[in-house]
Amino acid sequence: MDLTNLGQLGRVEEEKEVVKGFKVKLHTLSVEEQEALSGIATTTEEVLKNFPAIQIKCLVIATSSINGEALDKGQLEKTYRSLQYGVLNAVYNFYTEVSEKQLKVIDELKKN
């Protein structure tokens, strides 16, 4: 595998209608993308206090499209901030599912 494709190794991207009329395509994060989340919260107390903001920042980075439309980071943040928290949480739970699938993909890659 050449180095230009190495960053895609183990990447998972999936689409799901998380609630009726709201379909989102999410992908797992690269190390560089995860680094963008660092510094938001460093203690458990900060994580709990800032959890919705952390969810939004993570989803802005992980979102490929909403309802088939690619949006820029500003549009994504505005969209996620305007949602009811239950809907935002449903999207974040889907991101968690995608991340868990990545662990399985990586386990399979280790076997080869």
* pLDDT tens profile 78-87: 999 999 999 9
In degrees and rounded to multiples of 5, residue 99 shows phi and psi of -65, -40
Please give the pLDDT value at position 2: 52
pLDDT beyond 60 at 4: no
The predicted-structure confidence for 11-31, as pLDDT tens digits, reads as follows 899 999 999 999 999 999 988
**60-81, pLDDT tens digit by residue?**
999 999 999 999 999 999 999 9
What single-letter DSSP state applies at residue 8?
T
- Per-residue tokens: 88: 């935002």
Beta bridge pairs of residue 69: 66
Domain that holds residue 23: 3-111
Number of domains in the chain: 1
Q: What pTM does this model have? A: 0.84
Q: What is the CATH number of the domain that holds 27?
A: 3.30.2220
Between CA 97 and CA 94 the distance in angstroms is: 5
